[in-house]
Amino acid sequence: MATPDDALHRPRLVALVGNPNTGKSSLFNLLTGLRQKVGNFPGVTVERRTGDLTLPDGQALQLLDLPGLYSLIARSPDEAVVTDVLLDEGHAMHPQAVVLVADASNLKRNLYLASQVLELGLPAVVALTLQDMAERYGIYTDTAALAQRLGVPVVAVNPRTGQGKEGLLAALATPLAPPPRQFLYADAEAYRRLLALAGQPAHKGQLAADTIARYKQLEAITAQVQSQRPSLRQSITQRLDKVLLHPLWGYATFLLVLFAVFQAVFALAAYPMDAIDAGVAWASEALQALLPDAWYTRLLTEGLVPGIGGILVFVPQIAILFTLIAILEDTGYMARVVFMSDKIMRRFGLSGRSVVPLFSGLACAVPAIMAARTIENRRERLLTILVTPFMSCSARLPVFTVLTALAVPEARVWGIFSLQGLVLMAMYLAGSFFALASAWVLKQFVPARGRTVFMLELPWFKAPRWQAVAMEAFVKSRTFVLDAGRVILVISLVLWFLASYGPGQAMDQAEARARTAATLNRATEAEVAAYAATARLEASYAGLLGHALEPAIRPLGFDWRIGISLIASFAAREVFVGTMATIHSIGQDFADEQTLIDRLRQARDPETGQPSYRPSVAFSLMVFYLLAMQCMSTFAIVRRETQSWAWASGQLVGMTALAWLCSWIVFVLLD
């Protein structure tokens, strides 16, 4: 039975509240370290993060990282969650106090949200972040004067270095009282009622007047607590923006940046990829030599090692791609791309806010689709969700890399640029084209409900935080390897079994027929062994499954072996490479340390004798993987975010049909 003393030791719940990109999540990580939990708010799909920390006096405290927002007037699902938590005192996650995270370089905008929260009467501490960055651009803030004007403690803190952490913890350890001053409302309860009714048309005029009056007060406060001096960095940012935001040169610069990114992905990753590929072949050879000729040896050398190696070999490319994307985001350049793209996006039924989920789709469609929650307009949010899977995610990168190596020679354009890098960039641009084209088509069938105004405050340009960039690349690469690895481990085991066993004596009989035919044709011993291995695979359970699918994919240039990979890929696209590695390793001798690319180049279509992966087939297969959704996780998240089986199923069927049609056109034109 709980006692009153027990309540004294229960963790207090404190919420972190702030605008996006203010360092709020970095501050959460600084304060909680590894003591974090991730889940969803009750009844909704919006993610919540909680963490534990201990104050200097030994008091335990629970910290809640709320989604970033600009105003308590909720317009998106994420914002609605925050307002529910802060307004409803009976909410399970209602905090006893809040930490208001404010960016010193955009103080007036950040104080708008802070003033709304203070109006609610919640005890608060203001954590002033990015003050060092603001000072580099000539903006200086008097924290003592700001604390006096707001009536709550103000602590300057740098989440990157940890400077100011102890001061913030000390402020939280001090008993916090409700803020003494109100901005526009003497009664906090009246303001709560107004915010609760914010969605009703009758209150729009009052809310607009509230916003105007509030900004007048905040402008006066900011003028009293901040001073600004001319800065070289500020001048440089303004000069860069004249080019980067130009209606012509801005887009040209963006294309050049993309060009450089994909050239770097191929050029920098070549050597580590070759080393990993050779290491996997060596490991298979070594295991064959050390272990007896038994089923478990074949399981290791023909299943697990090639399958997992088929993913590890692409870690260098994925790490480089994520590193470069993180640099673009951290310097402030991606915000310019978002701002610049809004006018174009409007023509396709999207908005500038759609750029963030679409660009995030280069990593993974699942979190990218979840990121669309911040889009206020329902139609824009729905269209963004439906077209995001066209963006080439990291799971497609291994597929594109293998097929590009098979279809495109290692040549240089003008003696400088990698032809394979140009093809890879073309695939990514093609994905973007189909995303926008699909959005334009879909917007004809999804009615518009009002018009949204896109506002974005551009950050100052700054040098990337290399530690943060490295951590981003590491976390994304690790997530790719671990998530893909679990799927590949299961798929490789199942596929090895399906490819190594068949009904009755079918595999032995097929091998005997193949050996007899090869011998009569005076084939060499190596050729006889290759024919026998192919015959056994074709008669296996996997071969039967591939043959069942072959009539539907033969017009695309695909044979039954590719059919096996297509089926396996619906668990995850990246399984394609591991599946092909497993299929083309069954019965192979690794004495010559053949790499996966070498084995695929030597594969032949048993019916025509042509290379199985000639350019027409490789490009056809690339187009299919570019356009087909082939991801059950994406299907599940679309169903959850749209709350509709119809939209999710229509997306899956529509993308698959489009992939088949375009793949067929490419094969017919090139073959």
Rounded Cα distance between 319 and 2, Å, is 51
At 94 the three-state DSSP class reads coil
Report the pLDDT value the prediction gives residue 146, as an integer from 0 to 100.
Answer: 94
Residue 101 pLDDT class (50, 70, 90 cuts): very high
Report the pLDDT value the prediction gives residue 157, as an integer from 0 to 100.
Answer: 95
Residue 571 pLDDT class (50, 70, 90 cuts): low
**Do 559 and 584 contact (CB within 8 A), yes or no?**
no
CATH (residue range 9-229): 3.40.50.300
* Continuous segment of H or E residues that includes residue 668: helix 645-670
Residue 654 has pLDDT above 90, yes or no: yes
The Cβ of residue 599 has, within 10 Å, a number of other Cβ atoms equal to 17
Q: pTM above the 0.75 mark?
A: no
Token pair for 161: 């270095």
- Report the first-to-last Cα separation within the chain, whole angstroms: 78
**Do 12 and 98 contact (CB within 8 A), yes or no?**
no
Residue 591 has pLDDT above 60, yes or no: no
Report the pLDDT value the prediction gives residue 164, as an integer from 0 to 100.
Answer: 92
**Do 617 and 565 contact (CB within 8 A), yes or no?**
no
Rounded Cα distance between 206 and 202, Å, is 8
Classify strands 97-103 and 12-18 as parallel, antiparallel or unpaired: parallel
Rounded Cα distance between 399 and 397, Å, is 5
Rounded Cα distance between 246 and 459, Å, is 17
Report the pLDDT value the prediction gives residue 489, as an integer from 0 to 100.
Answer: 66
Rounded Cα distance between 1 and 4, Å, is 10
Report the pLDDT value the prediction gives residue 516, as an integer from 0 to 100.
Answer: 82
Beta strands in 491-537 (DSSP E): none
Contacts of 266 (CB under 8 A, 6+ apart): 317, 418, 420, 421, 424
Average the pLDDT over 378-388 and give the result.
89
Q: What is the mean pLDDT of the chain?
A: 79
Read off the pLDDT of residues 600-625 as tens digits, 9 standing for 90 and up: 777 777 667 778 788 899 999 999 99
Read off the pLDDT of residues 58-77 as tens digits, 9 standing for 90 and up: 888 899 988 888 888 877 77
Report the pLDDT value the prediction gives residue 233, as an integer from 0 to 100.
Answer: 64
* Continuous segment of H or E residues that includes residue 40: strand 36-40
Report the pLDDT value the prediction gives residue 41, as an integer from 0 to 100.
Answer: 47
Read off the pLDDT of residues 234-279 as tens digits, 9 standing for 90 and up: 677 778 888 888 888 888 888 888 778 767 776 777 788 778 878 8
Tell me 458's DSSP state.
Answer: P
Tell me 302's DSSP state.
Answer: I
Read off the pLDDT of residues 501-548 as tens digits, 9 standing for 90 and up: 888 888 888 878 878 877 777 767 766 776 777 777 778 887 888 888
Measured in residues, the chain has a length of: 671
**Do 266 and 274 contact (CB within 8 A), yes or no?**
no
Residue 45 has pLDDT above 70, yes or no: no
Domain boundaries, given as residue ranges, for the chain: 9-229, 249-443, 485-670
Residue 102 pLDDT class (50, 70, 90 cuts): very high
The closest of 86, 621, 164, 654 to 401, measured between CA atoms, is 621
Residue 592 has pLDDT above 50, yes or no: no
Which residue would you say has higher pLDDT here, 468 or 291? Answer: 291
Report the pLDDT value the prediction gives residue 124, as an integer from 0 to 100.
Answer: 93
**Do 303 and 495 contact (CB within 8 A), yes or no?**
yes
Rounded Cα distance between 176 and 124, Å, is 7
* Continuous segment of H or E residues that includes residue 36: strand 36-40
